[in-house]
């Protein structure tokens, strides 16, 4: 057939985009936090760590406003308390969309609505209205012409699957078959995706020693510990992959396909009670770093190798208000002052080597905080250092510690004044270093490079191929496609025959 030039360009453009966008690791942001930082500070931390995808458990107005014009992709949540009302009233659903979605777009990049959280197992009485709620919200998005930008789905736990191992025989719990069938039908009809909350930590703890902890932590398994599905002979190198595959096979058992799975929650607690010996910082650091590496492979589980596993880590801050065991309050990867609970990164480093030709004046580790504060006050006042970058919401505010702020203030003063006799002493609280303390977003005066030591290498964001962000696999292919598209645009009279 003959294709109009603009349509051919559109097809080629989307083909191009589908081959250069990448899988991602995002993060959940809970609000049951005693000292939750202001929304502007939370977003500053997201930007500093190059986190490109977040999930909010509600439609918090402060966060949605702060996320405007950042390009960060946002999943917003309908709370479990709201599901019943929305599922019983199309007008309530329309009002919710108008108030919490349409009012913020396009400035805030809302990409999905998560209807409830594990509704089928958390509030079973709401099951009859769950799919109606999803339908009403989708229809409201259609009415607002936002349905192409914003998908609707509902996160479910692994508890809706009767038996997850072996993955090849996994099926949904038969008591939920009718509702889950309707959910899958909705997801297929609206081109949405299945939201899965998958926690290898809980699966490992409840397995009573059947599975080795290395399997839960993405660590290599010895030959005698290999996990193999006896029906498919697929080797599972991690419990995470097996849980995702169990979900795919459960979906297929209801005769659905082409519905991708996105892991909306996973993680590992870094502290626990005496009866939770595996909730440690070491295990949490191992799990999340290996998770990031796993997602960066850009492949799916053994049964769906071409569908990368986009994933959201649970969670940004410790939700210390949550009831239950200690581990329930110990999933955060950042402290509320912006510092890391434990080291988290991709294994690469942008730090500057110690032979840097530029010297920096920084706060001494372990210096008295009162003296450091006096030093900050003097440097930012009488010393005329430019300290705007360490104010709330600015690029060098995080980590929000006296040590970090003092280092920035001391160095700015020193770089401005050392040629005029200024020194790096500050009552014995400062020291010189040749290691550049800059980060990607916080540039110290005198730095000749970006990258470095205030923030670790980015742990989140686009990592490689097939989802919703930005890593080009091949510059040659990208260049060729751009040139080809430009030629198509210029040749407006061209005809294409397929």
pLDDT tens across the length of the chain (498 residues):
444 444 444 434 433 333 345 689 999 999 999 999 999 999 999 998 889 999 999 999 999 999 999 999 999 999 999 999 999 999 999 999 999 999 999 999 999 999 999 999 999 999 999 999 999 999 999 999 999 999 999 999 999 999 999 999 999 999 999 999 999 999 999 999 999 999 999 999 999 889 999 999 999 888 788 899 999 999 999 999 999 999 999 999 999 999 999 999 999 999 999 999 999 999 999 999 999 999 988 899 999 999 999 999 999 999 999 999 999 999 999 999 988 999 887 333 333 333 345 788 999 988 999 999 999 999 999 888 999 999 988 889 988 899 999 999 999 999 988 877 788 989 999 988 877 888 777 889 886 543 333 333 345 655 433 333 333 333 334 444 544 455 444 444 444 333
Report DSSP letters for 81-145, one per residue. HHHHHHHH-HHHHHHHHIIIIITTTTTS-EEEEEESSSHHHH-GGGHHHHHHHHHHHHHHHHHTT
Q: How far apart are CA 276 and CA 19, in angstroms?
A: 43
Report DSSP letters for 305-371, one per residue. TTS---EEES-SB--TT--SSGGGG---SB-TTS-BSS----S---PPPTT-SS-EEEEPTT--HHH
pLDDT confidence of residue 351: 34
pLDDT confidence of residue 433: 84
For residues 128 and 170, is the Cβ–Cβ distance under 8 A? Answer: no
Q: How far apart are CA 299 and CA 244, in angstroms?
A: 12
Q: How far apart are CA 478 and CA 306, in angstroms?
A: 21
Picking from 241, 200, 192, the residue whose alpha carbon sits closest to that of residue 75 is 192
Q: Which CATH number does 21-329 carry?
A: 3.20.20.80
Picking from 261, 209, 271, the residue whose alpha carbon sits closest to that of residue 240 is 261
Helices 402-417 and 369-380 sit at what angle, rounded to 10 degrees? Answer: 40
Alpha-carbon 463 to chain mean position: 11
Per residue in 443-474, is it b (16+ CB within 10 Å) or e — as a string? bbbbbeeebbbbbbbbbbbbbbbbbbbebbee
Catalytic positions are 118, 265
Residue 73 phi, psi (nearest 5): -80, 135
pLDDT confidence of residue 8: 43
pLDDT confidence of residue 448: 55
The helix (run of H) or strand (run of E) holding residue 462 is strand 461-462
pTM reported for the whole predicted model: 0.75
Residue 255 phi, psi (nearest 5): 65, 35
pLDDT confidence of residue 21: 52
Q: How far apart are CA 157 and CA 265, in angstroms?
A: 9
Alpha-carbon 466 to chain mean position: 16
Task: With H, G, I as helix, E, B as strand and everything else as coil, classify residue 452.
Answer: coil
pLDDT confidence of residue 347: 30
pLDDT confidence of residue 266: 98
Task: With H, G, I as helix, E, B as strand and everything else as coil, classify residue 41.
Answer: helix
Residue ranges of domains in the chain: 21-329, 360-433
């Amino acid at each position: 057939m003959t294709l109009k030039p603009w349509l051919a360009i559109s097809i080629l453009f989307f083909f191009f985009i589908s081959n250069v966008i990448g899988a991602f690791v995002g993060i959940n942001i809970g609000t049951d936090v005693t000292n939750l930082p202001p929304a502007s500070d939370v977003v500053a931390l997201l930007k500093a760590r190059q986190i490109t995808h977040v999930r909010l458990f509600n439609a918090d107005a402060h966060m949605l406003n702060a996320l405007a014009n950042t390009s960060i992709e946002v999943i917003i949540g309908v709370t479990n308390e709201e599901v019943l009302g929305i599922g019983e009233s199309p007008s309530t659903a329309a009002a919710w969309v108008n108030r919490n979605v349409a009012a913020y777009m396009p400035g805030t990049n809302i990409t999905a609505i998560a209807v409830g959280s594990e509704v089928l197992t958390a509030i079973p009485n709401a099951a009859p209205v769950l799919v109606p709620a999803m339908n009403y919200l989708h229809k409201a998005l259609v009415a607002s012409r936002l349905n192409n930008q914003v998908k609707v789905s509902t996160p479910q736990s692994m508890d809706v699957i009767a038996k997850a191992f072996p993955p090849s025989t996994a099926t949904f719990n038969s008591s939920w078959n009718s509702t889950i069938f309707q959910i899958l039908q909705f997801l297929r009809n609206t081109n949405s995706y299945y939201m899965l909350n998958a926690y290898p930590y809980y699966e490992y703890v409840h397995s009573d020693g059947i599975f080795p902890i290395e399997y839960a932590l993405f660590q290599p398994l010895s030959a005698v510990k290999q996990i193999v599905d006896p029906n498919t002979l697929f080797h599972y190198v991690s419990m995470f992959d097996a849980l995702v595959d169990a979900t795919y096979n459960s979906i297929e058992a209801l005769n659905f396909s082409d519905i991708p799975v996105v892991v909306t929650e996973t993680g590992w607690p870094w502290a626990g009670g005496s009866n939770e010996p595996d909730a440690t910082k070491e295990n949490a650091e191992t799990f999340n770093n290996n998770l990031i590496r796993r997602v960066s492979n850009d492949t799916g589980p053994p049964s769906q190798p071409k569908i990368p596993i986009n994933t959201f880590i649970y969670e940004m801050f410790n939700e210390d208000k949550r009831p239950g065991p200690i581990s329930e309050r110990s999933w955060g990867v950042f402290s509320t002052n912006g510092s890391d609970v434990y080291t988290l990164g991709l294994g690469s480093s942008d730090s500057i080597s110690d032979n840097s030709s530029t010297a920096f004046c920084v706060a001494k580790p372990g210096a008295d905080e009162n003296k450091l504060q006096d030093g900050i006050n003097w440097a930012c006042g009488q010393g005329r250092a430019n300290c705007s970058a360490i104010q709330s919401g600015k690029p060098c505010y995080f980590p929000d510690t006296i040590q970090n702020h003092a280092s920035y203030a001391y160095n700015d003063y020193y770089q401005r004044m050392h040629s005029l006799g200024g020194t790096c002493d500050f009552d014995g609280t400062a020291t010189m270093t040749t290691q550049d303390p800059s980060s990607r977003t916080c540039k110290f005066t005198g730095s000749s490079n970006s990258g470095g030591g205030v923030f670790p290498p980015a742990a989140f964001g686009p990592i490689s191929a097939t989802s919703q962000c930005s890593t080009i696999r091949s510059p040659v292919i990208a260049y060729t496609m751009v040139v080809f598209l430009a030629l198509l645009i210029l040749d407006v009279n061209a005809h294409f025959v397929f």
